[in-house]
């Protein structure tokens, strides 16, 4: 859907992406890049003692990975405008496979014809369970006149 122009998107349009497996390498690379070394992500002896029983992926990793699943094109998406009410509602374990389900739920046009589209945004695991949800807001182009 975000591969359409602002004026082409209609409230209620939906999109489901293909999946991506969250690997141990992803979790390690995210600890590297973010500098977030909380033991729940990086110490399996510690994690084994928690209620999760093993290491879990960083919420911000799962969110970051999902941004790459959005079918955005540079012609239509100008920028990530914002995120509302992000909630990390279920753990993601190493080996889980997540995909993204989006639905356009709001549009706000600007004077120049561009606008912000809000998507109901659900990152869902291989069991069909949402793990992260939010309203994802993209600033989008209007269709060029020609």
Helix (H) / strand (E) containing 130: strand 130-140
Question: Minimal distance in Å, beta carbon 122 to a copy of itself?
Answer: 14
Candidates 7-15, 65-73, 103-111, 114-122; binding stretch for a copy of itself (CB under 8 A): 65-73
Question: Minimal distance in Å, beta carbon 42 to a copy of itself?
Answer: 6
Euclidean distance between CA atoms 96 and 119, whole angstroms: 24
Q: CA geometry: angle at 93 spanning 91 and 94, to 5°?
A: 155
Q: Does residue 136 sit in helix, strand or coil?
A: strand
Q: In the set 10, 14, 16, 95, which binds a copy of itself (CB under 8 A)?
A: 95
- Establish if 105 lies at the interface with a copy of itself (CB under 8 A): no
Pick left, alpha or beta for residue 6 (phi over 0 → left; psi -120 to 50 → alpha; otherwise beta): alpha
Binding site for a copy of itself (CB under 8 A): 18-21, 23-26, 28-30, 32-40, 42-46, 55, 58-61, 63-65, 67-70, 72, 74, 77, 79-88, 95, 97, 126, 134
């Amino acid at each position: 859907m975000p591969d359409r122009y602002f004026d082409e998107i209609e409230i209620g349009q939906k999109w489901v992406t293909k999946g991506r497996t969250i690997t141990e390498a992803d979790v390690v690379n995210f600890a590297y890049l973010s500098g977030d070394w909380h033991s729940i992500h990086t110490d399996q002896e510690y994690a084994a003692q928690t209620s999760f029983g093993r290491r879990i992926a960083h919420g911000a990793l799962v969110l970051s990975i999902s941004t790459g699943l959005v079918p955005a094109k540079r012609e239509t998406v100008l920028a990530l405008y914002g995120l509302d009410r992000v909630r990390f509602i279920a753990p993601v374990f190493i080996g889980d496979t997540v995909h993204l389900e989006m639905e356009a739920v709001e549009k706000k046009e600007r004077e120049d014809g561009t606008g912000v589209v809000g998507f109901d945004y659900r990152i869902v695991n291989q069991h069909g369970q949402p793990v992260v949800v939010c309203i994802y807001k993209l600033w989008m182009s209007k269709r060029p006149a020609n």
